[in-house]
Amino acid sequence: MNRIYQGRVTKVEILNGKDESGKPQWVLLGFTREKLDELEKQREQLRECAKEKSHEGEKARKELAEINRKLNEPWQQALWKHHKLFQDAVNSDALNR
């Protein structure tokens, strides 16, 4: 099978209404703006501590990895589901020719 497309996705955002000035607001798939802000704040706080070579640094690295997993999991699952549907459509079309 030939590759139809290639690229790299680093996050998926969805439209979440508009802000006070009328500009579109985008939020990471699977999160409210408040929850996303909370996780990003925690991540920033942990980044400095994670650089340390200590027990606290190791703990911070584990917590940071867990936050990153939480942030990535919803959109990665949605993207993979979309990819499988796309591939099924391409393969079905190829079989019908």
pLDDT tens-digit map of 30-62: 888 889 889 999 999 999 889 999 999 999 999
73 token code pair: 């999991």
The answer to whether residue 36 is domain-embedded is: yes
What is residue 5's predicted lDDT score, i.e. its pLDDT?
63
Under a CB-based contact definition with an 8 Å cutoff, are residues 31 and 39 in contact?
A: yes
Domains in the chain, number: 1
Residue 25 lies in a domain: no
3-state secondary structure of 4: coil
Residue 3 domain flag: no
Q: Retrieve residue 14's tokens.
A: 């969805």
Residue 71 in domain: yes
| Residue 83 in domain | no
Residue 70 lies in a domain: yes
Residue 65: inside a domain, yes or no? yes
Q: Which domain holds residue 68?
A: 32-78
Per the model's pLDDT, the better-predicted residue between 92 and 57 turns out to be: 57
